[in-house]
Amino acid sequence: MSLHKNGDWYPDQTEYVYSCTLICLDPNCKETVINLGIGGITNYPPNEREENSTNKFQDYFLPIYFYPNLKLFKYPKSIPKNISKELNYSFELFFCNPPSSANHIRIALELVLNFLKIKKFKIKNHERNRITLHRRIELLPSKYNDLKPLFYAVKWLGNAGSHSDRQLIKDNVLDSYEIMDLLLQEIYDKKQKQVKKLAKQINKKMGQKKRV
């Protein structure tokens, strides 16, 4: 409020911090979730096509944290606990720290490869060296050939998420959730979903970049 006393103050300088309580509308659930976030006022300039048009201002609010965290996709109950743990870490951090959220999806992908017994190290000159994620995916048995594009797509998205702006990272993480959903269903529940086209598009777009 002290800023309002400044003669140079303008509405779009306003910053909000908010908290609210959300209650599920499902009568069989009614779970309570606490939400914290930030906000401000957006300035829409006058419309040159409208006579006597003036600046318009509108409040906006951005969620930063939910407790309990939202489940951003429903994964199979049969997946190992260490994988579900990493997924939930990703869900917790999605709104407040997208890069860390993307990193936990990458960790979950590595754990899926562990579950499939894909080796993590190789011995060279009597030293144990870690095998890259890309190479581990290449080592998947032929029976998983149909799933390799999904593994690669999640990997590319994780790499891009570490070097992109905040909004792009969120978009990358949402795409990785969609593909990870199918991947987990295929491995643990064997259910079919229609996201393979998305994986192919990502591989085509990002697959020419340096392998990490």
Interval 8-56: pLDDT, tens: 666 667 888 999 999 999 999 999 999 999 999 887 666 666 666 666 7
Owner of token pair 């800023």: 3
- In the chain, the percentage of residues whose pLDDT exceeds 90 is 55
- Per the structure, how many domains does the chain have? 2
Tallying the residues shown for the chain, one arrives at 212
Shared-domain flag, residues 82 and 172: yes
**Who wins on pLDDT, 5 or 155?**
155
Q: Same domain for 45 and 74?
A: no
Do 29 and 112 lie in one domain? The reply is no
Q: Examine the domain organization and report whether 52 and 132 are in the same domain.
A: no
Q: Are residues 120 and 208 in the same domain?
A: yes
Same domain assignment for residues 109 and 81: yes
Report whether 64 contacts 42 (CB < 8 A): no
Task: Give the model's pLDDT for residue 189.
Answer: 80
CA distance 158 to 162: 7
Same domain, 120 and 174: yes
Residue 26, domain extent: 1-68
Residues 107 and 23 in one domain: no
Look at residue 58 and tell me whether its pLDDT is greater than 60: yes
pLDDT for 48: 65
Q: Are residues 55 and 87 in the same domain?
A: no
CA–chain centroid gap for 199, Å, is 15
Residues 49 and 80 in one domain: no
Q: Does residue 99 register a pLDDT over 90?
A: no
pLDDT for 57 equals 79
Structural domain ending residue among the three candidates 40, 68, 96: 68
Residue 200's pLDDT band (boundaries 50, 70, 90)? Answer: confident
Residues 35 and 100 in one domain: no
SS3 label, residue 56: strand
Same domain? For 58 and 6 the reply is yes
Contact 79, 98 (CB under 8 A): no
